[in-house]
Chains A and B, each alone.
Chain A
Amino acid sequence: MSVGLVPLAVPQPEPISAVEAALFVFVLLTAVATAMLRDVLAVIVVFAAYSLGMAIFYAILLAPDVAMTEAAIGAGVTTILLLLTIAKTVRPNEDRILERVDGTGLVVVGAFAAVLIATVNEFPAVGDGESMAWFNPAVSQYYIESGYADTGVENAVTAVLAGYRGFDTFGEATVVFAAGVATLIVLKRTVFTRE
């Protein structure tokens, strides 16, 4: 408030809805199933479902740009590339459905999860109008208030990615290009499709 910028609106934290709770359980179950299932094909299908659940989650949390990326890349392209990969490998022919749990791995992952969960209380509640992410005159508020005047685009995400942080985006786009080149090098090929 000291800078003179007034927050656009101060949303109040809302209690978690039934849809969100169901989605949370779905995402959690598919995540565990991804780690636990033995059949790789089943893992890929469940992982795609997990990505789709996360995409809906992002949409509910009002991040449609992230949701679309997760749906297109996470659930779509990644699944197709993984399916393509296992089509070239041999599937183990076993009766066991679940993976055997490795004790050491469980301890390490459990400790890591405990550290992450310990930080949850430090996050602002969803929709908290006083949180730094929402009320941040130097960054968020500036982008929200000046984005249209500075860049002329109405989507604040595009204004930040292509306008304010265009140089970063240039680097990211080049990384995607480099990934394509790296794949050709690893596969010892000179063409993607045909001459």
Chain B
Amino acid sequence: MSESQEESPYVESQVIMTTVQLIAPFSMTYGLFLLFHGADTPGGSFQGGAIIGATVLMIAFAFGIEVTREWLRNRTVVALAAGGVAAFGMVGLVPVLVGGKFLEYKMYKEVFGIKAKWGLEAIEILGVAPIVAGVVCGLFFAIAAGYLSNGDTWDSRSPTDADTKSTPTTEVTDDD
């Protein structure tokens, strides 16, 4: 309830900054490896995308959320998340356009001469991973920014909500 609650939760720490500086390149490489090698070894797009997103979160935790927010444009986050869904849908729809079924990778081989495997790789690398990485980053920065209070109807309504809530709780204790 004090003034300090309103401030950014960021506290500069030499230990965390140094640790993240050391780990971030490796975790980013590991995430990319899981993503690009997920078809043949354990891991895959979801894990890879989550680790890539978590690397950005780690950097934000160490060097300040506001600084990282300045660096990561909303355009990038939306492009990753929405572009991923669009790419996944496109890879699924192309076989339909050439007379196959949704996500029927064999059509890529028959019509375009592309290995069916590349269809799977495409939805992993262009579809799921960008969605997960983008949404993980987006959730973090949106929650860090918090509820947008600009004095609109919802804000003026919330105190009355709190008032009405306090009355039923006393009634419940009476029933017990």
A residues lining the B interface (CB < 8 Å): 64-65, 68-69, 72-73, 76-77, 80-81, 84-85, 87-88, 90, 151-155, 157-159, 161-163, 166-167, 169-170, 173-174, 176-177, 179-180, 183-184, 187-189, 191-195
Q: Are A161 and B154 interface neighbours, CB within 8 A?
A: no
CB nearest to A195 among chain B residues? B74
Determine whether the beta carbon of A173 is less than 8 Å from that of B131. Answer: yes
* B89–chain A nearest beta-carbon distance, Å: 7
CA distance A77 to B120 in the complex (A): 26
B70–A194 contact, CB under 8 A? yes
Query: Could you say which of B89, B115, B140 contacts A152, with CB atoms under 8 Å apart?
Result: B115
Do B139 and A193 touch (CB < 8 A)?
Answer: no
Q: Which residues of B66-100 are within 8 A (CB) of A? A: 69-70, 72-74, 76-78, 81-82, 84-85, 88-89, 92
Minimum Cβ distance to chain B for residue A66 (Å): 9
B54→A68 contact, CB < 8 A: no
**A193 and B38 in contact, given A76-B50, A77-B54, A88-B5 (Cβ under 8 angstroms):** no
A64, B43: Cβ atoms under 8 Å? yes
A-B contact pairs, 29 of them (CB 8 A): A64-B42, A65-B42, A65-B43, A68-B42, A69-B46, A72-B51, A76-B54, A84-B144, A85-B143, A87-B9, A90-B1, A152-B116, A154-B39, A154-B40, A155-B40, A162-B39, A173-B84, A173-B132, A176-B132, A176-B135, A177-B85, A187-B147, A188-B148, A189-B142, A191-B74, A192-B142, A193-B73, A193-B137, A195-B73
Beta-carbon nearest neighbor of A67 in chain B:
B42
Query: Quick check: A69 and B47 within 8 Å, CB to CB?
Result: yes
Report the nearest A residue to B5, measured CB to CB.
A90
Main secondary structure of the interface of A (DSSP, over half): helix
- Asked whether A183 lies within 8 Å of B57 as measured between CB atoms, the reply is no
Q: Are B42 and A157 in touch, CB under 8 angstroms?
A: yes
Give the residue of A159, A170, A184 whose beta carbon is less than 8 angstroms from that of B92.
A170
Query: How distant is A82 from chain B, measured CB to nearest CB, in Å?
Result: 10
Q: How far is the CA of A63 from the CA of B148 in the complex (A)?
A: 41
The CA of A173 and the CA of B39, in the complex, are separated in Å by: 18
CA distance in complex: A179, B131 (Å): 11
Q: Per DSSP, are chain B's interface residues mostly helix, strand or loop, or mixed? A: helix
Give the B interface residue count (CB, 8 A): 65
Instruction: Give the chain B neighbours of A176 by CB distance below 8 A.
Output: 131-132, 135
CA distance A192 to B39 in the complex (A): 31
Tell me the chain B residues, 1-54 only, with Cβ under 8 Å from chain A: 1, 5, 9, 34, 38-47, 50-51, 53-54
Instruction: List chain A residues, Cβ under 8 A from B152.
Output: 188
Is the beta-carbon distance between A192 and B9 smaller than 8 angstroms? no
Report whether B141 and A192 are in contact in the complex, using a CB–CB cutoff of 8 Å.
Answer: yes
Is B107 part of the binding interface, using a Cβ–Cβ cutoff of 8 Å? no
B102 near A80: Cβ-Cβ < 8 Å: no
